[in-house]
Structure 1
Amino acid sequence: MLLSIYHLTEYVYPDEARDSFNELWLYPVDDHRQGLLEFRLHIAPNTLPRSRQDYFHNRVYSFHVNHPHQQLRVEMQARVLTFAVPEPLPVPVQVLSSLESRFFEFLAPTPRVPLHYNWLELLSLRRPRPHESLHAYLLEVTEHLYRSFRYDTTATQVDTPLTQFVEGRAGVCQDYAQAMLAVLRSVGIPARYVSGYLATGVGSQGSHAWVEAFVPGSGWYGYDPTNNSIITEQYVKKAHGRDYDDCPPLKGLRRGGGKEHLQVLVRVEAL
């Protein structure tokens, strides 16, 4: 599927801001599941961004606006060709026991995904049986979370703790994804947070988040608990990490400016 993506982030400040340092995770992945055909990045005030690979091999752009400004505008345009991938091999859950040291980072707790809670009990989920299909269990968790929560953009904020989302039973894709991370890591299944775009389905104007779990013999495979779906050609991946903090669309700091007004616009269209 050929997809066109437009992502605008605009900050307007009541007072002059300066020394604005920012990092962007907006570059679509180019791998076996999707091919990046075009990528354009425009920043105003005009500045020259630098790119690098972060620890998780995501392409990150950073830039610095050192002169006074009252508006910061970041526009990204891309065209991506996505491909269908086969379902994972039906391997049993028990094969993961030998891989714990290899995937420690995606099994360990983080500030956003703490593991000292009994997530299975809080979410009414069972522990997988050693001989059952790992993919089948992952589909079961995906569907259970989809049916347990209500998608509501007003229920949570970007810094809402996972426990509050679980108690309130409503939130957005970021919350669904991190709840699934908590469950999978609690039972020894390596799982990582993914940020990207979705052409259709529930999401915030096309921006989306989901989970990739490691299935031996098939590699990292995507599951979307917000929409009760595996990752199809309608999904475009930008980056992955341990949780949201490793790959937000944009993060930064500045001096001055006052309380900013933020506008975000995302369009994902099938060509």
Structure 2
Amino acid sequence: MKQIITHVTHYRYTAPVTYSIQTLRLTPRDDEHQRVLRWHIEAPGALERQVDAYGNITHTLTLNRPHTDIELRVVGQVVVGALARGALGGEDSRLPVHAYCVQTALTQADDTIQAFTRHALPDGLNTPDDALALARAICDRVAYEPGMTDVTTAANQVLAMGHGVCQDHAHLFLACARGLGVPARYVSGYLYTTAEHAASHAWADIWLPGAGWTSVDITNRQFASECHCRLAVARDYDSASPVRGVRNGGGDESMAVTVQVQTAAQQ
């Protein structure tokens, strides 16, 4: 599937920012099943390109002059191939698989999460079908409801609240898998869909014996497919977020994001 993607992020500040630095993970990964045809990031300054420890393409934007807003505009085309039951092919794997067994502040498997996992998967997490069963159990327990959580909400809080978004579903999935000692990682990216809220999306990859990395869209209770364009992978949102930065000054911050994903047939 050829996806045509437009992604605009606009930060506004109530007072001048004297210095800011942003890390942008806004360029799709070069994986076996997806290929970038063209891609352009428009930013209010020079961008320094790197590849991070997870194999993600990143850009650093540094602004040393006073500013009261930052607009980042991305436009591009990506061809994404079909995935058989979510199975991923070759990729830029810079870390050993078991690096993704490490729990983080957002994906700690406490007693409540471990009990939930045992109930959802009494025979363990061994196959792609088990991964789908876990996704279904998470969605049954945690209803999709925007505005109830934020980027600091940890997996155990999500389970207790029973509400969240795709990011929260992914973190809970990672906590359950890692609690069983199964490697799993967070994925940020785009989803082609007719559902308005889901163009910017998050899901998870899990490493299974005999299957390798298998990609699962927890929120939609399905394997990832040619509808999913991958931007970044990491242990959790903190290291895979599309835009992350620090600043001096600026007062209060507001952010507006618009994402549009179309197919070539729609053009």
Change over 3 Å in CA distance of 1:155–1:238 after alignment to 2: same
Aligned 8 A contact 2:109 2:156 in 1: no
Cα displacement (A) at 1:224: 1.0
Unaligned runs of 5+ in 1: 90-100
Partner of 1:232: 225
The whole-number CA distance in structure 2 between the counterparts of 1:133 and 1:253 is 40
Aligned 8 A contact 2:155 2:175 in 1: no
* Residue 39 (structure 1) aligned with residue 35 (structure 2): no
Find the partner of 2:79 among 78, 81, 85. Answer: 81
Aligned 8 A contact 2:24 2:244 in 1: yes
Find the partner of 1:179 among 166, 172, 175. Answer: 172
Change over 3 Å in CA distance of 1:161–1:218 after alignment to 2: closer
Partner of 2:123: 128
Secondary structure at the aligned position of 1:105 is classed as: helix
Cα displacement (A) at 1:118: 4.0
Partner of 1:4: 4
Find the partner of 2:106 among 112, 115, 118. Answer: 112
The whole-number CA distance in structure 2 between the counterparts of 1:196 and 1:147 is 23
Cα displacement (A) at 1:147: 2.1
Cα displacement (A) at 1:116: 3.5
TM-score by length of 1: 0.88
Cα displacement (A) at 1:154: 1.5
* Residue 22 (structure 1) aligned with residue 22 (structure 2): yes
Secondary structure at the aligned position of 2:189 is classed as: strand
TM-score by length of 2: 0.90
Partner of 2:240: 247
Cα displacement (A) at 1:158: 1.4
Cα displacement (A) at 1:256: 1.0
* Residue 196 (structure 1) aligned with residue 189 (structure 2): yes
Aligned 8 A contact 2:190 2:200 in 1: yes
Aligned 8 A contact 2:126 2:208 in 1: no
Question: What is the aligned length?
Answer: 256
Cα displacement (A) at 1:203: 7.2
Which range moves more in the overlay, 180-189 or 116-125?
A: 116-125
Change over 3 Å in CA distance of 1:68–1:12 after alignment to 2: same
Secondary structure at the aligned position of 2:149 is classed as: coil
The whole-number CA distance in structure 1 between the counterparts of 2:142 and 2:195 is 13
Change over 3 Å in CA distance of 1:185–1:167 after alignment to 2: same
Secondary structure at the aligned position of 1:30 is classed as: coil
Partner of 1:51: 49
The whole-number CA distance in structure 2 between the counterparts of 1:55 and 1:134 is 28
Q: Give % identity.
A: 29
Unaligned runs of 5+ in 2: 88-94
The whole-number CA distance in structure 2 between the counterparts of 1:257 and 1:85 is 44
When the two chains are superposed, the root-mean-square deviation of aligned CA atoms in Å is: 2.0
Moved over 6 A (4+): none
Partner of 2:61: 63
Could you tell me which amino acid in structure 1 is paired with residue 23 of structure 2? E
